[in-house]
Structure 1
């Protein structure tokens, strides 16, 4: 399956309000400028770091991307 990171991470939306993956996914969904078609770690990581949104911490991104890699890359 050819899914972008954005499509993968959306599967975490709707989780518990204290679940870091769900919080990240919700913030990502609400960020209209998030690169929705991107699949590459470097581009996504740079975006997350430059954005510096407290609801999208890079440590959570790194963990989510590792799961994404395991399943889709």
Structure 2
């Protein structure tokens, strides 16, 4: 069973935020409504498009999702 995306994303946090995925992770950490238990691309993507003003581009989510999938293999 795959761990939730949020759990993986929190491993990417970096206070210095050297790249966009790390910046995304830092923003998601403070988002109380983030779907923390989800592993569903569509659910998370929809949420981010509608609610995540800290995510500057959807491409960052796509990159993070690819890294997430690779880490789960």
**TM-score, length of structure 1 as denominator length:** 0.84
Deviation at 1:39, TM superposition (A): 0.1
Unpaired runs of 5+ residues, structure 2, are none
Q: Which residue of 2 aligns with 1:71?
A: 71
Measured after TM superposition, the shift of residue 31 of structure 1 is 0.3
Structure-2-length-normalised TM-score:
0.84
Report the Cα offset of residue 58 of structure 1: 1.4
**1: distance between equivalents of 2:52 and 2:25?**
15
Return the alpha-carbon distance in structure 2 between the equivalents of residues 33 and 52 of structure 1: 10
What is the root-mean-square deviation of aligned Cα atoms in Å? 1.8
* Structure 1 residue 18 displacement after superposition: 4.3
- How do 1:6-45 residues align onto structure 2 when only pairs under 5 Å count? 6-14=6-14, 16-45=16-45
